[in-house]
Amino acid sequence: MRHQKLKNAAEFENTRDDVFERIASRYDLLCDLFSLGIHRIWKRRVSDLVSEEPWDNLLDVASGTGDIVLKLLQKKKLLSNQKVIVSDICRKMLSIAERKIDDYRENIRFERINAHSINEIDSSSIDVYSISLGLKICDREKAMQEAFRVLKPGGRFVSLEASNIPFNWLHNLYLFYMALCMPFIGWVATGGDSSAYKYLLHGVRDFPSAEDLKTEIESIGFEKVKYERLSLGIVAIHIAVKPECA
């Protein structure tokens, strides 16, 4: 078993470590270094999937520096009835997102939001909830329960997250590469701040497989759960629907 059910894979708690506040200005660089730039392709796929869904209200959680929403806005202009909430628990990350999305400010709202308790959002008020590379540093159960609560019946849950390469030997080789290279890359890019790569490494290593995450999402109450592996399965996108009768 690669994980404990509905656990915080990275064992990260923002009240104990403000690592993302410290590395916010270098976060985009770290993503490029750790993924060799492939994260841009993953995020573009998420934005494409979100843009294909019918929605008036989109909530992007753990937005980081705003890449998903930026790619969505670059792809297509929002309709007058469409509203987007860009959110993150880290103030500095959110500030960077605001600057990056500055040219598309119409119908965009920025909120500092904790994925575990989205008190700022009414129940059954969101059409699409998206979260990218954020579940690994959350208590997945709490985050997905809140996603379920804020979504309207029939609303979509979209998640991009670390996953498993179906071939065990290749997956183990990938984890070995991550364990070998990530500490050095992270240490150089962050000026010796070990937290940045420690949480990411744990989150990747201990996150559930695509199949197990599908089961977890279903246990929250979502239906029609499907997933798409990207880059051989290094990551996967899961899409689920809140039942109409919920």
**In sequence order, which residues have a C-beta less than 8 Å from that of residue 135 and are 6 or more positions away?**
9, 62, 143, 144, 159, 161, 207
132 annotated as a binding-site residue: yes
10 annotated as a binding-site residue: no
Closest of 184, 63, 206 to residue 132, by C-alpha = 63
Tokens of 43: 């995020």
102 annotated as a binding-site residue: no
Q: Is 11 left (phi over 0), alpha (psi -120 to 50) or beta?
A: left
Closest of 104, 158, 90 to residue 126, by C-alpha = 158
14 annotated as a binding-site residue: no
Share in percent of the chain as helix, strand, coil (round to 5): 45, 20, 30
Closest of 110, 23, 121 to residue 63, by C-alpha = 110
Q: Is 132 left (phi over 0), alpha (psi -120 to 50) or beta?
A: beta
231 annotated as a binding-site residue: no
Tokens of 6: 């509905």
Q: Which residues sit in the known binding site?
A: 65, 88, 114-115, 132
Q: Which residues sit in the known binding site for S-adenosyl-L-methionine?
A: 65, 88, 114-115, 132
